[in-house]
Copies of this chain bind each other. A is one copy, B any other.
């Protein structure tokens, strides 16, 4: 947790070409810290410590890197070093790497694998992107339901070393159909003569290989599982999604949601390693759409240009009103997007949610209107202050309804609700809020 100081050292050791120092540093740090430091370095520099790792640790460090950095490392390796590294990887990590790699690296990678490993990888790559099938591990120890505990433990001992996890053991019947799972801890504490079919947990949840990986990961979390069995459409066992892959999927999904909430595409890989152009590209699409959408606000302002010319003071409160409406709308949208992501709200809750948020917005609007009335009266006088306060109430209520409904509508039409970013809601609320403001102004001031 205090990796701060030694971290700086690796880069400077490499820059000073102090290979003894680098070797020492590598020996003293666990793989995930080494991977973290490599991610911060320029890829040409990162190759130096990477090549100094011994075989086993090289693989461990490599598996800790994210695909972007893995591709960089692979591009710097040649011949046997390249294929040996891939051959040793877990099939699910390898499938992910190859699935996301530039075509040239992917082809080279698949070609270099042994037939068995190539078959396993191809099977995983057969599932759609983002599905559980892509990230599950087929390397498990499968138990038949007719075994005794003693025999099952022997199977675990014999096959366990090659499996990615042995904590959750899938139990199958004759047709390889999943009966349930047994935990290794239950095997260890059970009598050797007990039968697997008597201790198998048949209520354990399972998912189809084609289901979204993120949903499966959240299920692991909800049900507190070490691993979740994955089956095909005929309930035949295919593989396990392990909790550590689930953790990674959830962190990735949350990072994505967080980026989307601010109107940016998620940038894969380390922030420090991302180039200025890549960061700008990830953010540019939405900004372009939003500035075009913001033309609406110019149109609304133009429609009321005469009103503004007559009472310039009205213009003074435009940024405050659009800002407040945007804030209330963003809060509602963010709350609903998160509630959807963790499964607390469902699409059919839309009417109830909109009604609830309308009341929240009204309550917040009433409160903020009092402040607006005081500020407005102090700065420009009572008439305009009343207009501003009344507008705050209507805009807040409206913003909360829009902000909460849009993510649910997005989900209903099959769009990721996180795309209903706070900026999108703000921009829409800006234009409609101005319409509300100037209409109220004309009515109250009689112009």
Contacts and interface: CB of A to CB of B under 8 A. Distances in A.
A233 to B, nearest CB: 14
Interface in A1-17: 1, 4
A261 interface: yes
A141 B95 CA distance: 37
Contact of A247 (B64, B243, B291): B243
A283 interface: yes
A371 interface: yes
A287 B368 contact: yes
A250 B345 CA distance: 20
A411 to B, nearest CB: 13
A219 to B, nearest CB: 6
B279 A297 contact: no
Copies in the complex: 2
A220 B356 CA distance: 38
A375 interface: yes
B320 A255 contact: no
Max chain B C-beta neighbours (<10 A), residue from A243, A246, A283, A371? A283
Interface in A356-389: 356, 359-360, 363-364, 367-368, 371-372, 375, 379-380
A372 B290 CA distance: 11
A343 interface: yes
A334 B298 contact: no
A80 interface: no
A259 interface: yes
Interface string A174-214: 00000000001100110000000000000111010001000
A185 B211 contact: no
Given A276-B363, A294-B324, A295-B375, A30 B247 contact: no
A317 interface: yes
Interface string A341-363: 01111100100000010011001
Nearest to A3: B343
A375 B349 CA distance: 40
Interface string A60-94: 00001000000000000000000000000000000
Contacts of A270: 344
A368 B301 contact: no
A426 interface: yes
B315 A222 contact: no
Contact of A258 (B167, B305, B334, B360): B334
A264 interface: yes
A339 B279 CA distance: 13
A319 interface: yes
A4 to B, nearest CB: 6
Interface string A306-341: 001100110111111011101110110111111100
A413 interface: no
A272 interface: yes
10 contacts: A1-B207, A153-B188, A221-B244, A263-B327, A276-B356, A291-B324, A291-B368, A291-B371, A297-B320, A298-B317
Interface of A: 1, 4, 30, 32, 36, 39, 64, 153, 156-157, 160-161, 165-167, 184-185, 188-189, 203-205, 207, 211, 215-216, 219-224, 226, 243-244, 246-248, 250-251, 254-255, 257-259, 261-264, 267, 270-272, 276-277, 279-280, 283-284, 286-288, 290-292, 294-295, 297-299, 301-302, 305, 308-309, 312-313, 315-320, 322-324, 326-328, 330-331, 333-339, 342-346, 349, 356, 359-360, 363-364, 367-368, 371-372, 375, 379-380, 422-423, 426-427, 430-431, 434
